[in-house]
Structure 1
Amino acid sequence: MTVGTIMEDSHISLSKWVLAFHKICSSKKGISALQLQRELGLGSYKSAWFMAHRIRLALEKSPLAEKLSGIVEADETYVGGKPARDSGKRGRGTKKTPVVVAVERNGKAFSKPVDNISSAEIEKKVLSQVDHTSVLMTDEYTTYIPIGRTFGGHHRILHSSGEYSRGFIYTNTAESYFSLLKRGVIGIFHFISRKHMERYCAEFDFRWDHRQALGYNDSQRRDAAVSRIEGKRLMFAQLLRG
């Protein structure tokens, strides 16, 4: 029954897997592996940690998923890792992992860690998942300018001048997404390494895409997650390598 799914070769009962899906999907900021171990009565922290990462893999969007469209906000933030001790810098220029999100107004999101915040990297890793007839909303960071030329429109909000909205031009939706992500990192997970960040992004994307405002309750969100278990496999050795 579990062959060809994320649960293949697992010694954990199917009922506990379903419960784990429910807890991860119903927790707004996520659930730590330690808490998952306690609530499911698992034998070790290692089992809970591995289980959670396998579930995150299941939550990843298919490469064939429908692209984001309409008015789409894009923004970047820095999470996980540790800032350079001697630089005193925050955000751009630190050793934290840069994460970029594209998020529809009143719709879905796609976030991913990037190697750098160049135009080419952001376009390749994140904005390639946005339909180019969309209207793009960003802050004034210059890396978005060449990308914006490839969309149906591009509007920039000037945060450096104290501007946070100008009519329908704002990036508040993307900022709300990152606020939720950061609360999860700081309050639940405490530290996320660069090599695992992509799966955590998938987890937060999934809950955002299946939030209550879009008509999903906890059970429906869990069922949507469980429907994604086939054709995905994550080995423990592979997880350690990243």
Structure 2
Amino acid sequence: MSVARMSEEEARATFQAIRWADNNGKPYCPRCGCADAYHLAARQVWKCKGCAHQYSVTSGSIFSSRKLPVRDILLAIAIFVNGAKGHSALQLSRDLDVQYKTAFVLAHKIRQALADEDLRDMVGGEDAHVEIDGAFFGGYIKPSNYKENRRDRRLARNQNGKRRCVVIMRERKGRTLPFVFKSEDAGLAAIRQHVAPGSIVHADEASHWDVLEARFLTKRINHSQAYSDDGACTNQAESFFSRLRRAEIGIHHHVAGPYLAAYANEMAWREDNRRLSNGEQYLIATNAALVHPKSAIWAGYWQRHKEAA
């Protein structure tokens, strides 16, 4: 991997070229936008001639106030992108030789940048096909040791309250929008908000999807009889759930609670960009992270309680 062989100076130059690509790699102040600055080589920062603000290659970005070398940040993005089913924070901490908490926050910063970069307010459009479906993730409950003490863990009274439903809106040959709710029917308001009028909606036979027929041309599929019938299917939505399920079972093991939406958005990005080469995915992810402003959630020292709140 070429990033791993970079020196810190080469990594900083690459970081600078990608972040300020709109100005041919020449830095400008993140506070006032002035491109005229002094370079303080001893500290590897610039001092703006307009407002006297001192800034580095990461100032004002999602990696601001960093302690890691720039090369390690670029390497983390490359490693993160190369994971077909995701990359766990524990594995990332071993690859970078950093603490687990450092890798956890770094991975979530990358997820946030990718989710915001790939965000689209609407999917679908005139005669575009959009598949709607929901699936539950997280909230694993270990069964009792003795058979006589075991309960049906599918029932709400025997669950721990952490299980959440990911409702997906996936446009064929388009983007994927995931949202997290307590139940599948709670996603109806989001569907009305994010699916463009004129779309052709595909859904299963669940009764709560009936109200969609008043707003969209809707095709329904009964999965107990077939996976596809007369062009109606939700196979691409199921494909997304398969990727998220593989990530939950094989990579992360626990994706419940307030972080489920972050993992769902990551898998949506991976699914939408799966046909691109590793190099293209790396450039997209790096650019998204470097132009993203400072995170309100993952700023400061180990601020995971902000997300949990």
**Structure 2: runs of 5 or more not aligned:** 1-56, 144-150
Aligned to 1:78: 136
Alpha-carbon distance between aligned partners in 2 of 1:58 and 1:126, rounded to the nearest angstrom = 23
Shift in alpha-carbon separation, 1:224–1:115, aligned structure 2, 3 A: same
Structure 2 residue 216 is the aligned partner of structure 1 residue 158: no
Shift in alpha-carbon separation, 1:62–1:146, aligned structure 2, 3 A: farther
Q: Give how far 1:240 is off.
A: 2.4
Aligned to 1:46: 101
Structure 2 residue 268 is the aligned partner of structure 1 residue 210: no
Structure 2 residue 209 is the aligned partner of structure 1 residue 144: yes
Aligned to 1:32: 88
Structure 2 residue 64 is the aligned partner of structure 1 residue 8: yes
- Secondary structure of 2:255's counterpart equals coil
Please tell me whether the aligned partners of residues 114 and 125 of structure 1 are also in contact (alpha carbons under 8 angstroms): no
Q: How does 1:1-242 map to 2 (within 5 A)?
A: 1-42=57-98, 44-61=99-116, 65=120, 67-69=122-124, 70-83=128-141, 86-89=151-154, 95=161, 96-118=163-185, 121-126=186-191, 128-151=193-216, 153-160=217-224, 162-212=225-275, 216-229=276-289, 230-233=292-295, 234-235=298-299, 236=301, 238-242=303-307
Q: Give how far 1:83 is off.
A: 4.8
Q: Give how far 1:126 is off.
A: 4.8
- Secondary structure of 1:228's counterpart equals helix
- Secondary structure of 2:288's counterpart equals coil
Shift in alpha-carbon separation, 1:45–1:104, aligned structure 2, 3 A: same
- RMSD of aligned C-alpha atoms? 2.3
**Structure 1: runs of 5 or more not aligned:** none
Which whole-Å deviations, capped at 9, do the CAs of 1:68-91 have from their partners, x for residues lacking one? 111010110011112596343279
- Secondary structure of 1:5's counterpart equals coil
Q: Give how far 1:177 is off.
A: 0.8
Could you state the TM-score of these two structures normalised by the residue count of structure 2?
Answer: 0.69
Equivalent position amino acid for 1:38 in 2 = R
Shift in alpha-carbon separation, 1:97–1:41, aligned structure 2, 3 A: same
- Secondary structure of 2:233's counterpart equals coil
Could you state the TM-score of these two structures normalised by the residue count of structure 1?
Answer: 0.87
Of structures 1 and 2, the one with the larger relative CO (CA 8 A, separation 6+) is 1
Structure whose CA Rg is larger? 2
Moved runs in structure 1, 4+ residues, more than 6 A? none
Alpha-carbon distance between aligned partners in 2 of 1:135 and 1:181, rounded to the nearest angstrom = 25
Shift in alpha-carbon separation, 1:17–1:111, aligned structure 2, 3 A: same
Alpha-carbon distance between aligned partners in 1 of 2:192 and 2:84, rounded to the nearest angstrom = 25
